Chain A
Amino acid sequence: MSRTFDTSSPTTTSTDEAKIHYLFQLADNALIMGQRLCEWTGVAPELEIDLALCNIALDHLGQANAWYEYLVEIYPQATDVDQLAFCRDEHQYYNITLVELPNGDFAQTIAKMALFSIFNYYLHDALRQCSDARIAAIAARSYKEIQYHRRYASNWLLRLGDGTDISHERMQKALDIVWDHAFEAFTPSPADHIMHQQGIAPDLEQIKALWEDEVHQLLHKATLSIPDTGFTGYRAKSDGVHTEHMGYLLAEMQYMQRRYPNLQW
């Protein structure tokens, strides 16, 4: 059986297709977030941070794995987890662009992690109570981990924002760099929309309100200002149109599966 991956069209019409697309959104967010965090291994500012970032990366890879396993069960085109994780083309990944942005310095990684994990926290809080038992179960397990990611990133954001002049400046700059990409989380994809109608996914407007509340308070406490919002039209999670960074990330991540297709590892 071919392990390359074909999808006719990313436009979702039926409920089944919407659910599959929605699961890809969740899985790909976790996978790409985890992949980026792996890059920190061995070069973090101190050994304790190394350990924590490994731990958080591992949580994300585990979450991705759980979502892909579910996809393998319900998606006729899927053969196994690794086909889904490694054998798709760039436009078939539906993560939000925020998670694929480069790590940058530690401040930028923290900015990404804070904005993402606060969103992820409210999203999973809603999903763990949703009507789809399987989604609820995976979300409930992930929720506990995401609580920790949110706390870890928020604590560092506070320390860096309100630490020294240098760290303050770096933290502010980092937020400016990643800020616009966060809003993609709240722009409903067709799948978000249908899943919300089905009573599974939450209303992203509500999640956005919770997110803004928390992020604004956090930035205020960290003596940081809210960046100006620029382009908010990123929609990789809807149609797989990514930033320029994604191709390099995939080239690295998919190297083995591309170079040696159809083998066991």
Chain B
Amino acid sequence: MNSFSYTRAGDVAGAVNEAATNRAAKFIAGGTNLIDLMKENVARPTRLIDITRLPLNRIENTHDGGLRLGALVTNADTAYNEQVEKRYPLLSRAILSGASPQLRNMATNGGNLLQRTRCYYFYDTATPCNKREPGAGCSAIEGFNRMHAVLGTSDKCIAVHPSDMCVALAALEAVVRVSGKSGDRTIPLADFHRLPGSTPDIDTNLGEDEIITAIDLPPKGFADHYAYLKVRDRKSYAFALVSVAAALETSGDTIKEARLVLGGVAHKPWRNTEAEALLNGKAATRVNFQVVAEAIMRDAKGFGHNTFKIELAKRAIVRALKHAAQMETRR
């Protein structure tokens, strides 16, 4: 770890000011990703701005009937929050499928959005990586790429975003609230993370001086028909190879609305609204689920070790939709 100076932010404006005046400064919340990356010399901030004592640690109802999750509420407190469990169980499930109890007690909602890829070359400073060092080259494309992306890749980077929470947030059409030098703004979750394109070093559309203050959940929680399916190398405490957040609104056997987001397959939570819409007005049958799965994975491209993810994702989509559709009868 490099040496750095430390300051504790007293208010949001102060934190934003600190970040705006020092480009090499970084916010720190739970520290579970940043400290790890600092120990590996991948992140080398010269100053840490401790934001953990800012008053962004509440979960509260919004005027429109939704729920606001403070950026500093821990992942554990969010997943076990009574309102989240009751109204947004998909989000609870997704969070609880990630990391470990200790890490969830530390990790914050803001930090979870900004966690960086687990690509092993990104972590290994002895190998070239465009995300760590723009222009250096990508070691994964022709290297060992079992965990890497099959959708939305570029010839510069094929990394995946590792978050489970964000997959559920995308399905719920969450909105990220941020505060920066030029004021406050909101960013729909779908537009928060970027595809790698020619600038894989930039993960998100958050400005350098911007701080996440909260995540808003719209009223619709899909509590009756949802599933979070995470496929991984072991039963617990592992990142997803493929994950699927499925949420359905049904009337009888007919699907009125479907939301489907994939994790572990792209540089951001992967949603294809056109493919999703194929389910509108359709019966909840295996055949219809298969049609959507094929449509979502049509443009997928494997890189050798990760090509299995394409078939795996199709099957995971079908299974997740089946679970979501059958929930009531399973109860």
Genuine A/B complex:
no
